[in-house]
Structure 1
């Protein structure tokens, strides 16, 4: 980085990066799990899975919100020489760093079908849904503060890290129009000029 600038990645992008792979692998594992009768039977497995889906989504969406708020309150303005990472790069880095964990989670969800069909897959899908809800909550936090939240790349660990982990000491902020991701980490929609 030139003149002491830091590489910055959007907080909401890092949070949201795991949502799609967890959702789709969970849905796929739940679908395959229905092919196996399991020890509990399909009906109990699906009912348990539905409860696990709701519980997992709520837990993932709500965990560490206080820490996110504290870091958002103490933001410093991003410097002139700071480098803002593209959304696609942030998502790719997180997924590349967590690919083995995602594969193990999928295999565990698939293996749990022999005990309770579809339950493990629905839990994994619920965790993905919870990440999407947490990213949307961060987007509302960004809109309320009229600033996008960024975290230094070097404060995240080698695997993409946690944007509210112990290594993260503060967030940086930019204007709401900076970067290529909208508040909440989704792709920024461009409107065609007529």
Structure 2
């Protein structure tokens, strides 16, 4: 990074990076967990899991929204020498940094099925759904401000991969067309040439 530039990762991409693994691991764990009757019985376990899914999705969606909004309002423009990290690199780094936590969460969800069938898996899937909804909310925020939000990679590393953690002092912003991810962190769609 020449001349004092910083490596920047998209905030919405970091948030969205955990959504797919948590969702699919939760769905698989719920499927495996539906096999045993468990202590509570299959019906009670699935109903409890459905309630946990909804509650977890809402909690994850609403967590730290004020902090995200405050950091977005105070976002400074990215500098000329700042380096924008690719979407795929950001997602891969997050998943590598959290792979053991994801594995432990999956094993705990499967293990909990012997007490309440499918409940642990549905809780995990709810966390994934909440992260996807939070990334969509960030996308609406970015469209409203007409600016994409970025976080310094070194702050992200010190904060355990949380884009609004204590280590993060401020966001940076760029124009809406910067980088290879659309508002909300999804892959940017390119128009087909005719």
Asked if Structure 1 and Structure 2 have the same fold, meaning a TM-score greater than 0.5 normalized by the shorter chain, the answer is yes
Q: Following the alignment from structure 1 to structure 2, what is the Cα–Cα distance between the partners of residues 158 and 78?
A: 20
Distance 1:91 1:159, change over 3 A: farther
TM-score (norm 1): 0.99
In structure 2, what is the equivalent of residue 132 of structure 1? Answer: 132
How many pairs are equivalent?
194
Which segments of structure 1 move beyond 2 Å, counting only runs of 4 or more? 157-160
In structure 2, what is the equivalent of residue 191 of structure 1? Answer: 191
Shift of 1:157: 2.3
- Is the Cα–Cα contact under 8 Å of residues 98 and 159 in structure 1 kept in the other structure? no
In structure 2, what is the equivalent of residue 90 of structure 1? Answer: 90
Q: Secondary structure at the match of 1:39?
A: coil
Summarize deviations over 1:144-163 as a string: whole Å, max 9, x none.
00000000000012685100
Bigger shift: residues 157-166 or 99-108: 157-166
In the TM superposition, 1:30-69 aligns within 5 A as 30-69=30-69
Summarize deviations over 1:1-44 as a string: whole Å, max 9, x none.
10000000000000000000000000000000011110000000
Shift of 1:89: 0.1
TM-score (norm 2): 0.99
Which ranges in structure 1 are unaligned for 5 or more consecutive residues?
Answer: none
